[in-house]
Amino acid sequence: CCVLCLCCVLIVLCLCCVLIVFCLSHCRYALGMEDGRIKDDDITASSQWYETTGPQYARSEGDGAWCPEGQLEPSDSQYLQVDLGRLTFLTIVGTQGRYARSSGNEFARAYRLNYSRDGLLWKSWRNRLGNPVMEGNKNAYASVINDLHPPIVTRHVRLIPVTKLSTTVCMRVELYGCPWDDGLISYAAPEGQLMMPPGYPIASLNDSTYDGTRERRRLSGGLGQLTDGVIGLDDFLLTRQYHVWPGYDYLGWRNDSLGTQGFVEMEFVFDRQRNFTSMKVHSNNMFSRGVKIFSSVSCQFKPHLIANWEAEPVAFKTVLDDRNPSARYVTVPLNRRAAKSLRCRFYFADVWMMFSEISFQSVKKIKSRTRLPMSLVLISANPSASDSPDVSNTPVLIGCLVTIILLLVIIIFLILWCQYDCKVLEKVKRHNPTLKSVEAKGRLFRCFYFEREFGMMSANSCKERRSYWCLYLSVFVIMLVLNMNYFCPAACGGGYAEPDVTQCTPHQCFHSNAPHYAETDIVRLQGVTGSNMYAVPALTVDSLTRKDISAAEFPRQQLIFREKLGEGQFGEVHLCEAEGLPEFLGEGSPLPDRDGHSVLVAVKQLRADATSQARNDFLKEIKIMSRLNDPNIIRLLCVCVSSDPLCMVTEYMENGDLNMFLSQREIESTLTYANNIPSVSLSDLLHMSVQISSGMKYLASLNFVHRDLATRNCLLDRRLTIKIADFGMSRNLYSSDYYRIQGRAVLPIRWMAWESILLGKFTTASDVWAFGVTLWEIFTLCKEQPYSLLSDEQVIENTGEFFRNQGRQIFLYGPPLCPPSLFELMMRCWSRDIPDRPTFEGLYQALRPHVSQ
């Protein structure tokens, strides 16, 4: 029992140590609502219902909570405000309802947080996915702990209860974190950029939690990912956060994108003048991907905000490392220079430079009580950014551990000692029932004394006493662990390392399963007629042989060339006369308009010298097309694949593609009529939209994802019937619609849903997004490219905004020709959340009534 007990004690001891180290190094102290370190005057509120539910009762006295006046309405913005007295790194918020010895029944189901570093400028907290609302309590008694991801650097906090229905709300609150001794109140830097390496996912290296302003591609006046305590991994594409995009943990810049200067300039502003000893920059060094730590840095100092930069900078050259690709802290000595703000230039050592954290160490001049000269006292580093536990916490940590270990050793010693005494006593009793031995009496007394103190005198035998000791020890250890919850809530409930599933919608959770580019089975689909190469998930075509292709082989000598319709790097499209095609296809087969014995057809032909990859992709397209049969999908008539060059024969669409068709037309009016200008009516446009939705409805019913729906891929015959074409191909003509990732993969980014760009996820729902853009093209008569004012890079940045959904995303405008109800439909196609997007069936049903029969 004793050995077992000892083992348990040691295990629990280790657990305690781990928990203590975890708490202290992770900045999770109760900040003093409950224990009164935060004074009543520092807790205020927008209103209170009764005297006994005033803001100071948010620390759980009186009726046990703060309750805002009256019923809380969904539009209300009532708040409880806490002044923490100093800049604090806030990591956790705990809330409880009004319990009032079980007579209270009010609680906040959800709440928001606003914060201010100076008490003047208030900012709204949002989680890493852009959601400002946190889950609150489910009943009046249980506390709910919310980890702040990202944490906040602030002095003032407002908790704003949120409700969907009119209700009474009361809250008790505890805040957790630690002092922000870094003193940094803002940094300014160029906006982070996108990295689009061939064959890798796009890495978005922006500062997505930055709480200052973004103007002219510069961040200023805020803090963000560089001070959130999250240290980036060696591979910058991997992240420590859940449901975020590759490159999330880093802020990164490309050398040539910032002009020819070859450096990144950053400015840091502090709460007061400090004497800086060093700056620690956590930097990526994945040199195989063109990323390295900075080669040198030069920092200038400003003693006051309104002063000039001091002439003499501090310069520091790093030792570059081409062997170890690990991300690392680079410590820059700052020579104890005094400043309120710093301006540092970090010089590139390679194409890219990426930082995940920056912290500053400074010393404070204090007057000694003795006559000793001024001494320098170290101010602890940024608690979040240091890679070792916080310097200021170390003595507390060691003290706690030593005390616990000593206590446990004493207890174990006592147990063993009493056990030994007990045995001796029983032995003596057996031999000498009158207990004459003085030593035995002494022993008995000592053991008796301790046991009386611990109240286990009723136990008679040694065995019973032993079990009592075990029980007492267990209770002690359990109490110790439970008490830790007081200053370390998440250790026993919050779960720091757990993904915050309470904060993600089912849809976002669903995304966690979504592979991104790196994980997706990628094939490169090269257009026969275009130079495009798509990065798209592999189609489920295993090995392609002639037997997989259900279209019949047509004698190629019966194809008589008429004219060239299009051309690209991998082949050409010809208009041909197909002699004897009606007979070849047989009676009953739906045939295009015939010209006597022959029929006009479009023949896509793969270049004879095409790569085997292009050849395989061509065959895959044939295989897909041969299985499609719908009036709004281009029809494959036959093929010539028994010899080179490979050809596919499709119906000929006299009016070419929809983009060309519409861009050459104006909306029908008396003017166009009078001047014989080619025109289309609104009803034509609606009819086109219905036909495309019908074709897509068919593809969706087969679970077929098109991946490149756009007007350029819709063809028109002479009766203006629309047929969707190009299952993986587009013409050179539209190359500006595609985003070329360093000359390789080509993506139609302006038509792509955010999840396709960021996660490489192509589904029918992403086709719906593209359909919305196609509708927009139709109602602008293809006179403008979508997001024409944005560069390709800006379009991708805008995709990040669609993902974050903080209202900063730029939507396509409502075309003047477009009825408002139709624009609403388009906007639904661009819903951030997939379940909010309409289906093609729904789109078809919504559009069809608009068409006059």
Per CB under 6 A, does 602 bind ligand ADE?
Answer: yes
In the complex, what is the shortest distance from the CB of residue 573 to ligand ADE, in angstroms, rounded to a whole number?
4
Of the two residues 112 and 635, which places its CB atom closer to ligand ADE in the complex?
Answer: 635
Cβ atoms within 10 Å of 430's Cβ, excluding its own: 8
Q: Which of 444, 653, 781, 818 is close enough to bind ligand ADE by CB under 6 A? A: 653
Using rule CB under 6 A, residue 599 touches ligand ADE: no
Buried/exposed 722-755: b ≥16 CB within 10 Å, e otherwise: bbbbbbbbbbebbeebbbbbeeebbbbbbbbbbb
Give the strand pairing for 598-606 and 647-651.
antiparallel
**581 counts as binding ligand ADE under rule CB under 6 A:** no
Locate 131 and state its tokens. 């959601």
Residue 260: is it exposed, middle or buried by C-beta count within 10 angstroms (0-12/13-18/19+)?
exposed
Cβ(97)–Cβ(65) below 8 Å? yes
**Which of residues 365 and 627 has its CB atom nearest to ligand ADE in the complex?**
627
Q: Taking contact as CB under 6 A, which single stretch among the options 288-296, 565-573, 608-616, 686-694 is the one that binds ligand ADE?
A: 565-573
User: Which listed residue (85, 130, 389, 656) binds ligand ADE by CB under 6 A?
Assistant: 656
Looking at the Cβ atoms of 269 and 715, the one nearer to ligand ADE is 715
Q: How far is the CB of 782 from ligand ADE (least distance, A)?
A: 16
147 an active-site residue?
no
- Torsion angle in degrees (nearest 10) through CA of 457, 460, 464, 467: 20
User: Which is closer to ligand ADE, CB of 303 or CB of 582?
Assistant: 582
* Site size toward ligand ADE, by CB under 6 A: 11
Q: Which of residues 42-81 bind ligand ADE (CB under 6 A)?
A: none
Residue (49 or 570) nearer to ligand ADE, CB: 570
Q: Shortest gap between Cβ of 726 and ligand ADE (angstroms)?
A: 8
Least distance to ligand ADE, CB of residue 603, Å:
9
Residue 649 CB, nearest approach to ligand ADE (Å) = 9
Give the nearest distance from C-beta 663 to ligand ADE in angstroms.
16
Candidates 390-398, 650-658, 668-676, 764-772 — which segment interacts with ligand ADE by CB under 6 A? 650-658
Eight-class DSSP state of 85: E
Q: What is the spatial distance between Cα 239 and Cα 204, in angstroms, rounded to a whole number?
A: 12
Distances 717 to 582, 601, 654, 691, 723 between C-alpha atoms, Å: 19, 12, 5, 13, 8
Of 708, 726, 737, 767, catalytic: 708
Nearer to ligand ADE, 654 or 684 (CB): 654
- Mask of contacts with ligand ADE, 755-774, x by CB under 6 A? --------------------
Which helix (DSSP H) or strand (DSSP E) does residue 146 occupy?
Answer: strand 144-162
The continuous run of DSSP H or E covering 619 comes out as: helix 612-626
Q: Phi, psi (5° rounding) for residue 237?
A: -75, -25
CB of 271 or CB of 717, closer to ligand ADE: 717
Among residue numbers 255 through 314, which ones bind ligand ADE (CB under 6 A)?
none
Cα-based distances in Å from 49 to 72, 114, 190, 412, 568: 11, 22, 47, 54, 74
Contacts for 639 with CB less than 8 Å, ≥ 6 apart: 549, 551, 552, 553, 554, 622, 626, 646, 647, 648, 649
Shortest distance (Å) from residue 766 CB to ligand ADE: 24
The tally of CA atoms less than 13 A away on the side-chain side of residue 542 is: 2
- Interface stretch with ligand ADE, choices 72-80, 284-292, 486-494, 645-653 (CB under 6 A): 645-653
Rg of the Cα atoms in the chain: 36
Binding of residue 715 to ligand ADE (CB under 6 A): yes
Residues 720-749 as x/- pattern, contact with ligand ADE by CB under 6 A: -----x------------------------
Task: Determine if 652 is a binding residue for ligand ADE (CB under 6 A).
Answer: yes
Provide the mask over 93-132, with x wherever binding to ligand ADE is found by CB under 6 A and - wherever it is not.
----------------------------------------
**CA-to-CA distance for 204 and 206, rounded, in angstroms?**
6
- Least Å distance between CB 552 and ligand ADE? 18
Q: Which is nearer to ligand ADE, 505 or 664 (CB)?
A: 664
Task: Spell out a b/e string for 359-393, using b for 16 or more CB atoms within 10 Å of the CB, else e.
Answer: bbbbbeeeeeeeeeeeeeeebbbbbbbbeebbebb
Q: Is 90 exposed, middle or buried (0-12, 13-18, 19+ CB in 10 A)?
A: buried
Polymer length of the chain: 853
Residue nearest to ligand ADE (CB): 602
In sequence order, which ranges of 702-784 are alpha helices (DSSP H)? 754-759, 764-779
Q: CB 147 → ligand ADE: shortest distance, Å?
A: 55
Strand-pair partners of 139 = none
Measured CA to CA, the distance from residue 157 to residue 597 in angstroms comes to 82
Q: Which stretch binds ligand ADE (CB under 6 A): 222-230, 347-355, 374-382, 649-657?
A: 649-657
Residue selected from 573, 692, 710, 714 as contacting ligand ADE according to rule CB under 6 A: 573
Which two tokens mark 773? 């853009």
Tokens of 64: 């046990």
Of the candidates 770, 756, 780, which has an alpha carbon nearest to the alpha carbon of residue 843? 770
Piece of the chain touching ligand ADE by CB under 6 A; list 334-342, 473-481, 652-660, 681-689:
652-660
Q: Count of CB atoms within 10 A of residue 213's CB?
A: 11
Question: Residue 572 CB, nearest distance to ligand ADE (Å)?
Answer: 10
Site string for ligand ADE, 608-637 (x = CB under 6 A): --------------------------x---
The CB density around residue 701, as the number of other CB atoms within 10 Å, is 12
Please, which residue, 451 or 657, has the CB nearer to ligand ADE?
Answer: 657
What CA–CA distance (Å, rounded) separates 755 from 752? Answer: 8
- Shortest distance, CB of residue 525 to ligand ADE, whole angstroms? 16
* For ligand ADE, the closer CB: 248 or 652: 652
Minimum distance between the CB of residue 606 and ligand ADE, rounded to whole angstroms? 14
Round to whole Å and give the CA distance between 301 and 71: 53
Q: Considering only the stretches 219-227, 298-306, 451-459, 651-659, report the one whose residues sit in contact with ligand ADE under the rule CB under 6 A.
A: 651-659
Measured between alpha carbons, how far is 702 from 559 in angstroms, rounded to an integer?
32
Minimum gap (Å) between residue 585 Cβ and ligand ADE:
16
Selected binder of ligand ADE within 393, 605, 650, 689 (CB under 6 A)? 650
| Closest CB to ligand ADE among residues 554, 823 | 554
What separation in angstroms does the CA of 496 have from each of 21, 93, 240, 345? 13, 13, 12, 35
Q: What are phi and psi of 191, to 5 degrees?
A: -60, 145
- Residue 415 as a binder of ligand ADE (CB under 6 A): the answer is no
Q: Does 566 bind ligand ADE (CB under 6 A)?
A: yes
**Between residues 145 and 601, which has the closer beta carbon with respect to ligand ADE?**
601
Pick 536 or 715: Cβ nearer ligand ADE: 715
Structure-block tokens of residue 330: 């680079």
Q: Are the C-beta atoms of 638 and 644 separated by less than 8 Å? A: no
| Contact with ligand ADE (CB under 6 A) among 565, 658, 724, 778 | 565
Q: Which residues are catalytic?
A: 708
Task: Kindly list the residues in this chain that would bind ligand ADE in the complex (CB under 6 A).
Answer: 565-566, 573, 602, 634, 650, 652-653, 656, 715, 725
